[in-house]
Amino acid sequence: MRLRNIPGAREAIETSAWTIKNPEMQKGNWKEVFGNENPIRIEVGMGKGRFIMTLAMQNPDVNYIGIEKFSSVMLRGLQKQDELQLPNIRFIRMDAENLTEVFGEGEVDRIYLNFSDPWPKDRHAKRRLPSRQFLERYDYILKKDGVVEFKTDNTDLFSFALEELEESKWKLVACTRDLHNDSVMNEGNVMTEYEERFSSMGNPISKYIINRDSN
């Protein structure tokens, strides 16, 4: 998602009480930010943040961190949070390539990837959020029995994501190519902005949940 550049977006993010500046300083100590021992779940590429903010409202005993590369997109989430004042959510403007500098080993309880950019050219495959390069980063920051949940309407990206699991330590816990018609996996589903847009155009939504091999 690339909104036009909004003047002042970067400054608004730098001065917001809900964004974490110098997030690498918190590595290993994220519980201090929230002042409790609740699990920490992150969305990588949160866009305008409706998905993760809905989860934060539904689950006050879980802490959430929305990660987004672009200020103009993140600004929309911050404006909403200024109204809602949810105590259990924070935001980081960063490139997720640096996740392992920001979160310690096993510090994250769950990772959400929603409608990640497809980067269709082969030479950009390593930028795709479900790529093996990103799975390695998730492997470091995710607790041992933590899961990654990935949704997309892009069938090529989903096939790529499944291929990346082969020969890896990651295993499918659940998988569907038509989430909205899968009564089990769709239970409690929270739609993202992109999910609403693409499913209303008739595109089926794919989803997987993965964890690491316990052997």
Q: Which residues bind ligand SAM (CB under 6 A)?
A: 1, 45-47, 67-70, 73, 95-97, 114-117, 192-195
Distance CA 74, CA 94 (A): 10
Whole-number minimum distance, CB 68 to ligand SAM, in Å? 5
Strands of the chain (E only): list them.
40-44, 63-68, 89-93, 108-114, 142-152, 170-176, 206-212
202, 210 Cβ separation under 8 angstroms: no
**Token reading at 81:** 């949070």
Closest CB 215 distance from ligand SAM, rounded Å: 31
Would you give the distance in Å from CA 35 to the centre of its chain? 22
**Residue placing its CB nearer to ligand SAM in the complex, 14 or 95:** 95
With respect to ligand SAM, which residue has the nearer C-beta, 2 or 144? 2
**26 alpha carbon, distance to own chain's centre:** 19
Phi, psi of 42, rounded to the nearest 5 degrees: -125, 150
As measured in angstroms, the least distance from the Cβ of 97 to ligand SAM is 6
User: Contact, 46 vs 66, CB < 8 A?
Assistant: yes
Alpha-carbon Rg for the chain in angstroms: 17
Q: Contact at 8 Å (CB) between 172 and 165?
A: yes
Name the residues annotated as catalytic.
117
Residue closer to ligand SAM (CB basis): 102 or 210: 102
Closest to ligand SAM by CB, 164 vs 195, is: 195
Least separation in angstroms between CB 165 and ligand SAM: 20
Which strands make up the sheet holding 170-176, listed edge to edge? 89-93, 63-68, 40-44, 108-114, 142-152, 206-212, 170-176
Q: Which is nearer to ligand SAM, 36 or 108 (CB)?
A: 108
Shortest Å distance, C-beta 167 to ligand SAM: 24
